[in-house]
Structure 1
Amino acid sequence: MKKLIINADDFGYCKGVNYGIIEAHTDGVLTSTTMMANMPGFDHAVELHQQYPNLGIGVHLNLTTGSPVLNHLKTIIDTEGNFRNQAYYKGSFTVNEQEVYDEWKAQIEKVLAAGIQLTHIDAHHHANLFGDFNDIYFKLADEYNLPVRNNFNNQDPTRRTTDGFVYTMETVLKSEESLKQLFATHDSVEIMCHPAFLDKFLLASSSYTYPRIEELDLLTHPSIKKLISQQDIIELATYRSI
């Protein structure tokens, strides 16, 4: 069987995001999520995980939103002690890569300490693609023996990841034809999504808000559930099977 992983980013961002992800899992086709260890909704997400253990959970390595887990950093934070905005990394930049490694490792360790058995890692705002950070990303994946999101040009056949990665689920889940076309050339695919209910914190802190409601509606829509259930060579999966 070919494997379809539908992964929600940002678990732990806030309660609105957390509840949206659980709704997409329990009443929809969502199979997987990645957790932000440094955000206000982290403890709430851990509690929800205990209630819904079948939801695969990885770590959403963060470098651009909120404040870090560690408190001795200097080059990857601004004057307020928060992570630098992702715009900082769009051009030429200088940071201490050891700080990136240390912070990302601390985020992984925090999720593990919460009793969560990790399925994989990915990166918020695709921060693994900033500069040479993909090397750090791979190093941590190897240290913890975890698969990674395939948002890079994968030329290493030994790297544990999916064959395909889809940024916009609407392009794939729009019809049976588009879904079959994707799996004609792939045996495993991750679809990235950001379902959520909107709360005050999300509205005040994120530039991506109302589309999250639309994504939640799509993931739980009867037509989408029917579309996937009718596929005889595709099964919903998590990174545990990669």
Structure 2
Amino acid sequence: MKKLIINADDFGYSAGVNYGIIEAHKEGVLTSTTMMANMPGFEQALNLHEQYPDLGIGIHLALTTGKPVLSNLKTIIDVDGNFRNQAYYKGSFIIDEQEIYDEWKAQIEKILATGIKPTHVDTHHHANLFGDFNAIYLKLADEYHLPVRNNFTNTDSNRRTTDGFIYTMETVIQSSETLEKVFEEYNSVELMCHPAFIDKFLLNHSSYTYPRTEELELLTHPRIKTLFSNHKTIELTTFESI
């Protein structure tokens, strides 16, 4: 069987995001999500996870949104103590990469301390692709023996990840034909998505808002659910099967 992981980023971002992710799992085809340890909805996400243990939970490492878990940082935060905006990393920048390692490790440890056994790890805003940060990301993945999102050129045949990674979910699950075309090239694929109900915190802090509701509608639509329930060669799964 071909393996498809439909993963929602941002679990723990806010109440609206949390409820949207749970709705996409409970009433739709979402199989996996990645949790943010540093955001206001973290505790609520933990409670929801206890109610829906079949939803795979990974770790969504943050560097560009919210406040860090650690308090002794200097180069990756702004004057108010928040993470620097992702635009900061688009040009030349100077930061202490040890701070990134320490902060990301602290985020992983915070989630592990809850008793969650994470299925994999990825990064918010694909922050592992900034500068040389992918080396830090992979070092931590190896330390904790975690599979990773395949959003980079993978040259390590022993690394646990999917064969393919796609961030345009809508173009893939429109029909059986578009779905099967993806799997002509891959045996395992992760589809990234961001379903949510919109709340005030999301409106005030994210540039990606209304499309999240459309993603939620797509993931829970009866036609999409029928598409997967009738498919004989593609199974919905989590990173645990990779």
TM-score, with normalisation over the residues of structure 1? 0.99
Deviation at 1:125, TM superposition (A): 0.1
Secondary structure of 1:190's partner? strand
Deviation at 1:122, TM superposition (A): 0.2
Deviation at 1:185, TM superposition (A): 1.1
**Residue number in structure 2 paired with 1:202:** 202
Structure 1 stretch displaced more, 52-61 or 227-236: 227-236
CA deviations over 1:91-130 (Å, ceiling 9, x no partner): 1111100000000000000011111110000000000000
* Distance of 1:200 and 1:91 partners within structure 2: 31
CA deviations over 1:15-46 (Å, ceiling 9, x no partner): 00000000000000000000000000000000
**Residue number in structure 1 paired with 2:92:** 92
The 5-angstrom pairing of residues 28-47 of structure 1 reads 28-47=28-47
* Distance of 2:192 and 2:49 partners within structure 1: 19
CA deviations over 1:172-210 (Å, ceiling 9, x no partner): 011111100101110100000000001111111111000
Secondary structure of 1:25's partner? helix
Matched AA of 1:238? T
* Distance of 2:206 and 2:70 partners within structure 1: 22
**Residue number in structure 2 paired with 1:192:** 192
Deviation at 1:65, TM superposition (A): 0.2
**Residue number in structure 2 paired with 1:55:** 55
Matched AA of 1:74? K
**Residue number in structure 1 paired with 2:131:** 131
**Residue number in structure 2 paired with 1:211:** 211
**Residue number in structure 1 paired with 2:118:** 118
1:155 partnered with 2:135 = no
Matched AA of 1:12? G
**Residue number in structure 2 paired with 1:172:** 172
Secondary structure of 1:57's partner? strand
User: Any stretches of 5+ residues in structure 1 without a counterpart?
Assistant: none
CA RMSD of aligned residues (A): 0.6
**Residue number in structure 2 paired with 1:235:** 235
* Distance of 1:147 and 1:70 partners within structure 2: 24
* Distance of 2:237 and 2:114 partners within structure 1: 23
Secondary structure of 1:146's partner? coil
Matched AA of 2:25? H
Structure 1 stretches of 4+ with a deviation exceeding 2 A read none
Secondary structure of 1:186's partner? coil
**Residue number in structure 2 paired with 1:81:** 81
1:102 partnered with 2:102 = yes
Matched AA of 1:83? F
* Distance of 2:64 and 2:22 partners within structure 1: 24
Count of matched residue positions in the alignment of Structure 1 and Structure 2: 242
* Distance of 2:145 and 2:180 partners within structure 1: 31
Deviation at 1:11, TM superposition (A): 0.1
Matched AA of 2:199? D
* Distance of 1:230 and 1:190 partners within structure 2: 20
Deviation at 1:227, TM superposition (A): 0.9
* Distance of 1:229 and 1:128 partners within structure 2: 35
